[in-house]
Amino acid sequence: MRLLIVEDSDALRETLRSGLEGLGYVVDATGRGDDGLERALRGAYDLAIVDVMLPGIDGFELLRRVRAAGNKVPVLILTARDTVPDRVRGLDLGADDYLVKPFAVEELLARVRSLVRRGKSVANPALRIDDVTIDTVAQLVTRCGKPIDLSPREYALLEYLATRAGSVVTREELEKHLFDQEPADGSNAVDVLVGRLRRKLCPRGTNELIYTRRGQGYLMAAPT
């Protein structure tokens, strides 16, 4: 799963990034509201954590523009202003949760887990491709009942391909979903990541599940 943090405090931003990456999330982070808006609109995020007081544009305006664009990414608002009008404004603009500073990092991590579970509750939280099961809430992967140890980015790649099983996903789409900054032209970062995932997911003697479509991208599907 991929999260976005928009927080102008360097110390808090890096603390949150570290804590969330430790839980297995892929995290993009920025300290500016205008940059955060651009990332939110072009990226495929499972959750955004947005501070209210930001340079560029503030968190409320960022949220307003994200919702106006039809983007339904869950948003957790952070603010130092604990007033009813501010809380009402954030919720009316489409925020999914609201956390007042100062807060315990453990509380924020718990709220993130809750919002992620809430987002996954609409659909089946378990994805199955052939004999592979992906628990998208616990972020656990098994094949024939045996756990597969994946890095956060490998897991994010697998879940993205699995949710689009049967359809070709382009390298460009994967670059936008998986990397904070898109790799330079000619980079093989996506191909290297796919190769690592294949070796773990499909060792010798098992069915191939990830297929290359030359000139197009990758497709995940059960063998026919």
Assign domain 2-120 to its CATH superfamily.
Answer: Response regulator (3.40.50.2300)
pLDDT band per the 50, 70, 90 thresholds, residue 224: confident
What is the torsion angle, in degrees rounded to the nearest 10, for the CA atoms of residue 120, residue 124, residue 130 and residue 132? 40
Q: What is the mean pLDDT of residues 65-94?
A: 87
Q: CATH 3.40.50.2300 occupies which residues in the chain?
A: 2-120
Over the stretch 126-166, which tens digit does the pLDDT of each residue have? Answer: 889 999 999 877 788 999 999 999 988 898 899 889 988 89
Residue 183 scores a pLDDT above 60: no
Q: CATH 1.10.10.10 occupies which residues in the chain?
A: 126-220
Q: Are 71 and 43 in contact (CB under 8 A)?
A: no
Q: Are 218 and 169 in contact (CB under 8 A)?
A: yes
Domain 126-220 in CATH 1.10.10.10: yes
Tokens 């936008």 found at = 176
Q: How far apart are CA 104 and CA 157, in angstroms?
A: 31
Q: What is the mean pLDDT of residues 16-26?
A: 83
Helices in the chain by DSSP H: which ranges?
10-22, 33-42, 59-68, 84-92, 105-120, 152-163, 171-178, 189-201
Pairing of β 217-220 and β 210-213: antiparallel
Residue 180 scores a pLDDT above 90: no
pLDDT band per the 50, 70, 90 thresholds, residue 122: very low
Q: Are 79 and 51 in contact (CB under 8 A)?
A: yes
Over the stretch 31-73, which tens digit does the pLDDT of each residue have? Answer: 999 999 999 988 778 899 999 999 999 999 999 999 999 998 8
* 44 Cβ contact list (under 8 Å, min separation 6): 2, 160, 176, 177
